[in-house]
Amino acid sequence: MAKTIDAGVCVGCGSCAGACPVEAIVQDGDKYKVTADKCVDCGACESACPVSAIS
């Protein structure tokens, strides 16, 4: 199950993209999004997000 980013909560800091070991998180306008078929569900992005936008 891939992680998802709640765009309404995300503040666009980019911490999650830097934490992802498989480069599954990409910028989408002023927010970020998870490329579901690349995500290996490691949880690193969730830990890196300062506003708990990822679940």
Question: Which residues would be at the binding site for ligand SF4 (CB under 6 A)?
Answer: 3, 5, 10-16, 19-20, 22, 24-25, 32, 34, 39-45, 48-49, 51, 53-54
Report the nearest approach of ligand SF4 to the CB of residue 14 (Å). 5
> What is the rounded distance in angstroms from the CA atom of residue 47 to the CA atom of residue 30?
21
Minimum distance from residue 35 beta carbon to ligand SF4 (Å) = 8
10-21 in b/e form (b: 16+ CB < 10 A) is beeeebbbebbe
Q: Which is nearer to ligand SF4, 10 or 29 (CB)?
A: 10
- Asked if 19 and 52 count as a contact pair (C-beta separation under 8 A), the reply is no
